[in-house]
Chains A and B, each alone.
Chain A
């Protein structure tokens, strides 16, 4: 190798060193898949919102539009065998962990073909086959369960890790504190991921939480507490990667706080009296996680405009077909009302 070649290679290596984590760590195919999943979440949420407005979905739901980078970024280092517990704002976590959006829509439509056969709906969406132990209607309810799953994984020596998703509101629940303490005492393979979107329903974190960062609370439980820009997929993935590696090495839990924002209200009852129009528009126009990731991908030559368009069109078709599947699926038989309250005994 001549001197010029050596220099060029060194320059490339140096350039690579300066690339954001995700662009060093993952192949272009993996990055395109991450973008596809972010779109899929966005379009799923929009499809659910539209279906709700048109009367296909009853009850309520909590949309995660604006939080796609945390869902997908945290999930990037995971395998299908790793597990998650999720939250009432859990559609994105479910999709990021590999769920089929057809069965998700079917569940939201209350159909027998849904993941929970129409028993759970939006707030209990789960895909156990992909390690998703379920969304949860109780704020903080899934956190101790994730710790229990991690205890299980450690006892069974599986090498699997568990992600415990929760929002900023949950960090003031007793369950959060009890669970983090036990996970640290027992050095369990669990990663606590707080999606801090600034508001627990209407109450801002400033008014509800005594510390400036929720990750600061990790210090009380002797675990690393990491704050990341939750709208920057690469930053999120980097924190997740390190926490997952640490957990797999048996060194115990990490608390990651993804600072993010929900573009929509808390739920369908939200009249939005606690956030200014300017604040919402600033996040939508200037800090959208999908646009940010698209720009990075184009900047580093992973995808071009036509490629982005192709991904979008592909997702559009998938969502359309999924909604059609949900619409045409059968409702549960009324006679099956009490099925699965208990496990059938032989």
Chain B
């Protein structure tokens, strides 16, 4: 087993996963807009078309609905398509195929088929692309039985979760935060998978649990370092999968720390943090709580263009610091 570990960017890690998958399994192919010679809007597919050819790295017309449906049809008849949305926002054009077809086909047909479909969604704000290119819509899809929804936060997990998604017989939606594409981190060479449905404790602590997704994991870790210098020992959980959610890890952590903050970029109301909070409220961890739960989510607004407004629209490190201090100091 190859255990060499290098530093790769998040985008390079995804590209490596797709290359390994295509080498291992001839059923795997890529579909998306401008993923061929252009290399994808974020250069995630890069030069793969030169290695694997246009039949396996297929540029589609600008037809998100039709393209998604083609991927569903290919998946259900023996192929393993990886469909790239250019921006996760464009999934709104393809919701019919994702929600009404891919997610429900197995159930509606009484188990006669599986839909081993992988979709990749460049997501999130911070690029100055404004309201139609910056959303975090993972909770929309997390609400649909039949789908699995993951949000890798590190290059390691971006590769491992993509390879796990390809092993999964059901549709897996992968939300990739655009600001993470250039982030570097250790990535093992060769084939490995990161389990879908399993959260990861990124930092152990005893005073407060911070459950975070995607880029918020890094903001939470940054906040935790500052908090440590103040004597507050934060535990940071990278949720990684929002459907199915890892109840055990979160519940055990809250029982230990007695305090919970959820940090996520999607709009706060009816978002991932609402589900995590309700999960704790319904569990025996509720009795362990020493303070109210705090949700830090996206503002109740479309993502604005102005860079200062844009930053203000999603949780930042100072928001996490204040919430943690308030909880530990009994202000809330």
Contact = CB atoms under 8 A, between A and B. Distances in A.
B170 interface: yes
The interface size bin for chain A is 35 or more
Contacts of B170: 342-343
Nearest to B68: A144
Contact of B96 (A147, A175, A343): A175
Given A116-B112, A141-B101, A343-B114, A178 B67 contact: yes
A146 B69 CA distance: 8
B268 to A, nearest CB: 28
Given A119-B108, A178-B61, A340-B107, A133 B113 contact: yes
The interface size bin for chain B is 35 or more
Contact of A119 (B65, B76, B110): B110
Nearest to A143: B69
A144 B78 CA distance: 16
Contacts of A83: 77
Contacts of A181: 61, 63, 66
A321 interface: no
Interface in A220-235: none
Contacts of B61: 178, 181-182, 185
A175 B111 contact: no
A144 B113 contact: no
Contact of B76 (A129, A145, A155): A145
Contacts of A146: 73
Contact of A128 (B70, B79, B107, B109): B109
The winner among A155, A177, A178 for most chain B CB atoms within 10 A is: A178
B66 A144 contact: yes
A175 B76 contact: no
Contact of B110 (A115, A149, A338): A115
B75 interface: yes
Contacts of B60: 182
A277 interface: no
B154 interface: no
Nearest to A146: B73
B111 A152 contact: no
Interface string B94-118: 0011001100011111111110000
Contacts of A177: 66
Interface in B41-100: 55, 60-61, 63, 65-79, 81, 96-97, 100
The winner among A146, A175, A185 for most chain B CB atoms within 10 A is: A175
Contact of A152 (B73, B108, B110, B112): B73
- Please provide the 10 A-B residue pairs with the shortest distance between their CB atoms, ordered closest to farther: A148-B73, A144-B69, A178-B66, A116-B110, A340-B111, A117-B110, A145-B73, A178-B63, A343-B169, A148-B70
